[in-house]
Amino acid sequence: MGLTFENVAGIAPNAEFECRSGWRDLIEKAAGEMADYPDDWRVVIAGGKEKMGGLVLSVSYVGRWPVEPVEYFIEDWRKASLAVCEECGSAGRLRLGVVAATRCEDHADFVAPFRDEDGEILDLPPTGGPVWKDGRKASYSPCG
């Protein structure tokens, strides 16, 4: 079940978010930032989904396409989501097990059994990752 929002500035009326409700506040904060962008950008959050444990927002626009600010916006909020439990909104971290998911201690079992990399990999960004706690660079396949 996706999340929807009614009458939130910065979020398109028909936007759907394929993630758990713990990220509701996070999405509303992102929408607040988006609503503060210059009017002539006419950008709006069109939706979002959980991907590799992080929230990936999609942004649509009508006016000029402010490529870089929007890319930063999406990446900033994806990173922010890696500290918020997708289930309940409490402080969490990326956990690696049968899936990659950001969960607090109470909701960590969702991911169990855990992989050896759990707690060692901090982020699985769409490009340039994974990010290891000790700075090491190595490939990682969450499905392998």
> Cis peptide leading into 66, omega within 30 of 0?
no
107 binds Zn ion (CB under 5 A): yes
- The residue from 104, 108, 111, 124 that contacts Zn ion (CB under 5 A) is 104
Token reading at 64: 């000029």
- Given the rule CB under 5 A, which of 6-14, 107-115, 124-132, 134-142 is the region that contacts Zn ion? 107-115
Contact 17, 83 (CB under 8 A): no
The site string for Zn ion over 50-89 (x = CB under 5 A, - otherwise) reads -----------------------------------x-xx-
Q: How far is the CB of 53 from Zn ion (least distance, A)?
A: 13
Q: How far is the CB of 142 from Zn ion (least distance, A)?
A: 20
User: What distances in angstroms separate CA 79 from CA 38, 50, 55, 62, 124, one per listed residue?
Assistant: 23, 12, 8, 26, 10
The single residue listed with the structure tokens 């956990």 is: 95
Chain residues that interact with Zn ion, rule: CB under 5 A: 85, 87-88, 90, 104, 107
